[in-house]
Structures are given as C-alpha cells and as structure tokens.
C-alpha cells in the first residue's frame, strides 16, 4: 500500500513538472496563433432545408442566434465573418418570413471591413429585396431597403457614377412604397420622405408628385401633412395644388362624418359612402356622392359635380 502511494506521488510530481515545462511555451504559442478565416460548415440552402427534418423555423432561430454571437466574437477578434452570407441565405431558405435577417442584413454584411467588396454590397441589397418579396406589406423592410439603396450604398460603397444614380432612383421608389405602407406611422413616413427629393433631383417630377400625394393620402400626422402640402404647392403650382387640396379636404370631411373611428387607410379601402336611395334609378349617377370608387369620386369632385 505504501509503495502504491509513493508511486502515485511520483507520477503526480512528474506530471506537474511536465505541465510546468510546457505551459509557458504553449501559452506563448496560443497568443501568437490567430484564426484568419472560417471553414464553411453548411451545405447549400436547399440542402439545409432538407436537413432540418421539418423543423425549419427552429433551425432558422438557432442559426440566427449563431450569427449574432459569432458576429460579436469576430468583431472582438477584428476579423471577417466569412460564413455570414451563407448563413443568412440558409436562414432565409428555412424561414422566408423571418424578418430580422432582412432588417439587419446590410449592417451585418457591410460592417465586415472598411472596404466592403462590391459583390457583398449587391448581395446585401439582394437579401433585403428578398425580404420585400416574402413580406410585401412590411413597411419597415421597405424603409431599410430604401435607405440602404438610396443613401448608404451610393455614399459609402459604390464607385461608378451611373450605378450610384440608378441605385438612388431605385431606393427612392422603395422609400415611396415604405411611405405608403407606413401611413399610420408618422416616423416611418418622415424617414421615407427623403426619397421624394431624390426623384426631384433626377428630373422624375411626376414620380415625385405621386410620392408626395400617396404619402399625404395615408398619413394622419398634421405636421407631416403641412410639409407635404407645402412641397406639392411648389411642385404643381397653386392652382393644381388647390384642386388636390380641396379634394383631400372633402375626403377628410367624409371620413370624419362617415367612419371617424377608422384609420385613413381603412377608409380608402372601404370606398366612398353611397346613398342607395338617392342614387337609385340613375338620375344622379354622374354626381360625386353616387361614385362607385374613389377614382370616380375624385374625378367628379375635380369637375365640380
């Protein structure tokens, strides 16, 4: 028994001495070695979908958590996250309606380095456009996409002047869509308003007017309405602006008298109020109060009927 105890003590002493001898060189080597790239771990997105065995949303959540944690670790280590785009593609394939990857794609991808490759800038736009296809009524995705395409990418990442101009125009149209979808969100409408100025500078005057008109038609924010009306006055002239403003005032009056508890967007969806007894027989078919659609109603208001 004593012999076994002595042998154990000798072995422990030798082990401790060995560890002491190799620990310092191993620590120094560990401090010198740095990871410079990531090994690709995932198959193509369509194969990832099959490997999920039906748990697509759950696997998408796991991969998204991995993206966020790994992005932080890569930032601390000051190196690129090489697998980022493939991971986002896989997440989109697994759960196409998962909105967070679309909202953060541009920030995550372009944050990789000071000189973001052109291909990655295009890829960031592609991912966000994918988001608008799968979530076409999500105004925030349209807003983020429009801001990136209209302002961020041309100012920071694109070099070709013709490409910059085309991206700005595309981004302005995305912002116009964001303004339409965000009618009840004044903050979103304010942020999207910069797209109208881009259209104006590009000579797209009619598109700029439509942008402002659509935003004015859906917003309930009085300050924004005043700003939009002022811009329309400048663009269309006092006479045309007065016609449009009079039509809008008539609409607001109908809205408040008929369905004041609904939003403006809902009122537009329902259609103009129509008195079936007054409009019966066809004698008053050409009057605004008997119009079957808002388009007909607006035309008859403009014509004074």
Cβ of 231: how many Cβ atoms within 10 Å?
A: 21
Quick one: pLDDT at residue 206?
77
Q: Which residue has the tokens 């967070």?
A: 100
Q: Which of 193, 134, 47 is nearest to 105 (CA)?
A: 134
- Which tokens belong to 187? 């903050």
Quick one: pLDDT at residue 77?
79
- Do residues 170 and 149 touch, judged by C-beta distance below 8 A? yes
- Do residues 141 and 100 touch, judged by C-beta distance below 8 A? no
Quick one: pLDDT at residue 235?
76
Quick one: pLDDT at residue 124?
94
- Measured between alpha carbons, how far is residue 223 from residues 51, 112, 216, 226, 230 in Å? 52, 39, 11, 5, 11
- Which tokens belong to 28? 């120094």
- Measured between alpha carbons, how far is residue 63 from residues 20, 67, 85, 299 in Å? 40, 6, 12, 53
Quick one: pLDDT at residue 39?
64
Q: Which residue has the tokens 């006479």?
A: 239
- Give the pTM: 0.67
Quick one: pLDDT at residue 98?
96
- Measured between alpha carbons, how far is residue 227 from residues 99, 140, 250 in Å? 31, 22, 19
What is the Cα–Cα distance from 100 to 141, expressed in whole angstroms? Answer: 9
Domain residue spans of the chain:
271-305
**257 DSSP assignment:** H
Quick one: pLDDT at residue 26?
65
What is the Cα–Cα distance from 224 to 41, expressed in whole angstroms? Answer: 49
Quick one: pLDDT at residue 292?
72
Quick one: pLDDT at residue 204?
76
- Measured between alpha carbons, how far is residue 108 from residues 35, 170, 194, 217 in Å? 20, 22, 24, 35
Quick one: pLDDT at residue 13?
78
212 CB-near residues (< 8 Å, 6+ apart):
196, 228, 231, 232, 235
Low-confidence ranges of the chain (pLDDT < 70): 1-5, 24, 26-40, 113-114, 183-184, 236-244, 259, 264, 267-269, 283, 285, 302-305
SS3 state of residue 22: helix
Quick one: pLDDT at residue 56?
95
Percent helix, strand, coil in the chain, to 5, is 75, 0, 25
Quick one: pLDDT at residue 90?
95
């Amino acid at each position: 028994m004593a012999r076994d105890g002595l042998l154990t003590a000798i072995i422990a002493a030798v082990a401790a001495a060995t560890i002491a001898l190799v620990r310092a060189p191993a620590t120094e080597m560990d401090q010198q070695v740095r990871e410079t790239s990531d090994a690709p771990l995932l198959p193509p997105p369509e194969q990832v979908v099959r490997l999920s065995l039906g748990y697509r949303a759950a696997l998408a959540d796991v991969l998204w958590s991995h993206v966020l944690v790994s992005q932080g670790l890569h930032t601390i280590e000051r190196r690129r996250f090489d697998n980022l785009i493939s991971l986002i593609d896989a997440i989109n394939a697994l759960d196409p309606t998962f909105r967070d990857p679309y909202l953060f794609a541009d920030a995550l991808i372009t944050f990789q380095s000071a000189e973001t490759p052109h291909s990655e800038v295009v890829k960031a736009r592609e991912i966000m456009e994918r988001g608008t296809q799968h979530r076409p009524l999500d105004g925030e995705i349209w807003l983020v996409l429009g801001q990136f395409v209209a302002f961020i990418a041309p100012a920071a990442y694109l070099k070709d002047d013709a490409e910059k101009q085309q991206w700005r125009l595309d981004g302005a149209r995305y912002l116009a869509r964001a303004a339409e979808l965000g009618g009840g969100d004044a903050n979103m409408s304010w942020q999207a308003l910069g797209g109208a100025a881009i259209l104006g500078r590009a000579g797209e005057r009619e598109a700029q007017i439509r942008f402002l008109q659509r935003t004015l038609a859906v917003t309930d924010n009085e300050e924004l309405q005043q700003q939009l009306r002022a811009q329309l006055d400048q663009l269309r002239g006092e006479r045309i602006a007065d016609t449009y403003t009079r039509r809008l005032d008539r609409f607001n009056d109908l809205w408040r008298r008929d369905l004041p508890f609904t939003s403006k967007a809902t009122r537009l969806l329902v259609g103009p109020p129509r008195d079936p007894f007054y409009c019966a027989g066809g004698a008053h078919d050409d009057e605004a109060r008997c119009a079957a659609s808002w388009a007909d109603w607006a035309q008859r208001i403009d014509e004074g009927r």
